[in-house]
Amino acid sequence: MNAKSACKVTTRNLKVFGGLFDLTSKVIRLEQIEKLELEQGFWDDSQKAGKIQKEKSVAKEIVDTYDGLQELYDEFEILLEYAEEDNDEDSASEGIKIYDRFTGKFDEVERQALLSEEADPNNAIVSINAGAGGTESCDWAQMLFRMITRWAERRNFKHKVLDLQSGDSAGIKSATVLVEGNFSYGLLKSEAGVHRLVRISPFDSQGRRHTSFASIFVSPEVDDDIEIEIEEKDLRIDVYRSGGAGGQSVNTTDSAVRITHFPSKIVVTCQNERSQYQNRVQAMKVLRSRLYEMEIEKRKEEQAQFESGKKEIAWGSQIRSYVLHPYKMVKDHRTDCEVGSAERVLDGDLDAFINSFLRWNVQKTDRSK
């Protein structure tokens, strides 16, 4: 298939995605928000205004992405016409460049079309935990922590460490990170599960190969107006002194907060804010998000009980393997997506896995209906 016919096929898909996006309603909503912003008192309620601004940002990103893709296609059509009618090599060369940009941007449109679940536009709360294996697993957990934060930086997303527990001699035992950006939860939910690392251990004096495990849990940051019932009697709130690197950064007050939710057995901690109150607010936000995600997963499981071969997120059922020796490869066991450059993946280049997961997730959902 040549560039011209491929582009026409892609544009037909673009029209389908336009319907999925419901672009007309998003354009109308953007106009409504612009009028709201001009109303007296709109900015007085900062919480309500912030939610509307978030809605505006998501809608504008979708509309702008779609419009940009349409502009590239129109430009490609003009250049192609010049190249065919006038035998213009410069137009042909420029047309190829535009087509490459078009296909790259089309992947973004497809990804956004697949992000259709209710919580997908939300910020993401990512928890990373080392598995059994001491220093090896703690070092692996830190590598995954860096991978997630580098991914956020690549996309110009903000990220904030809510809690971090250092390993006894290296790495981290656990970390909780808030990633702020449009659709950060919808994109990062592909990372939820157990991650397996195979490598020559830098901590083994005999240079033997080791296998390490660490888990990633991803939940959406939920708004305060979403009803999640949490009763005080179901909570145990402990305060303790925050850990630190020493020196001036040591927190000398009992400001760190650990909240245990008895019914769900969820335990969340936060120690990186300046006061006990701020740490408690952040910890409750994480708890609400975890309970929300637990409820969503419960509903999904009830709808897909008959689906065979479904893996639980638990030790021994890794979703992805990272092999650094004797060869280098990263493979996702759900989608069979493989990337040969393990270093690139560990540096935050997760797009191939995210895109393949979103397609796989849609197909899985369709099969369960």
Q: Is the pLDDT of residue 245 over 70?
A: no
Q: Is the pLDDT of residue 313 over 60?
A: no
pLDDT at 50: 85
CA 216 to chain centre: 11
Write the DSSP assignment of 233-259 as a string of letters.
GGEEEEEEPPP-SSGGG---SS-EEEE
The domain boundary, picked from 57, 91, 114, lies at 114
Q: Is the pLDDT of residue 159 over 60?
A: yes
Of the two residues 255 and 5, the one the predictor is more confident about is: 255
Same structural domain for residues 155 and 280? Answer: yes
Task: Note down the domain range covering 34.
Answer: 3-114
CA distances from 117 to 55, 83, 308, 333 (A): 15, 43, 23, 23
How many structural domains are present in the chain? 2
Q: Report d(CA 174, CA 186) in Å as an integer.
A: 22
pLDDT tens-digit map of 161-219: 999 999 989 999 999 999 999 899 999 999 999 999 999 999 888 888 999 999 999 99
Same structural domain for residues 25 and 172? Answer: no
Same structural domain for residues 181 and 238? Answer: yes
pLDDT tens-digit map of 92-138: 888 888 888 888 777 777 777 788 788 898 999 999 999 988 899 99
Rounded mean pLDDT of the chain? 83
- Pairing mode, strands 193-200 and 320-323: parallel
- Pairing mode, strands 124-130 and 235-240: unpaired
The domain boundary, picked from 74, 97, 114, lies at 114
Q: Is the pLDDT of residue 277 over 80?
A: yes
pLDDT at 311: 44
Same structural domain for residues 336 and 275? Answer: yes
Same structural domain for residues 137 and 272? Answer: yes
Same structural domain for residues 248 and 175? Answer: yes
CATH number of the domain residue 173 falls in: 3.30.70.1660
User: Is 331 within 8 Å of 337 (Cβ atoms)?
Assistant: yes
What is the biggest distance separating any 2 CA atoms in the chain, rounded to whole angstroms?
Answer: 79
pLDDT at 246: 42
Same structural domain for residues 198 and 321? Answer: yes
The domain boundary, picked from 86, 114, 142, lies at 114
pLDDT at 133: 80
Of the two residues 253 and 41, the one the predictor is more confident about is: 41
pLDDT at 307: 37
pLDDT at 205: 82
Nearest C-alpha neighbor of 138 from the set 189, 178, 197: 197
Nearest C-alpha neighbor of 252 from the set 269, 270, 236, 275: 275
CA 210 to chain centre: 28
Write the DSSP assignment of 330-364 as a string of letters.
EEETTT--EES-HHHHHTT--HHHHHHHHHHHHHH
Encoding tokens for residue 352? Answer: 């191939």
pLDDT tens-digit map of 333-368: 999 999 999 999 999 999 999 999 998 988 776 655
Helix (H, G, I), strand (E, B) or coil at 25: helix
Where residue 247 falls among pLDDT bands split at 50, 70, 90? very low
Q: Report d(CA 281, CA 279) in Å as an integer.
A: 5
CATH number of the domain residue 56 falls in: 1.20.58.410
pLDDT at 12: 47
pLDDT at 367: 58
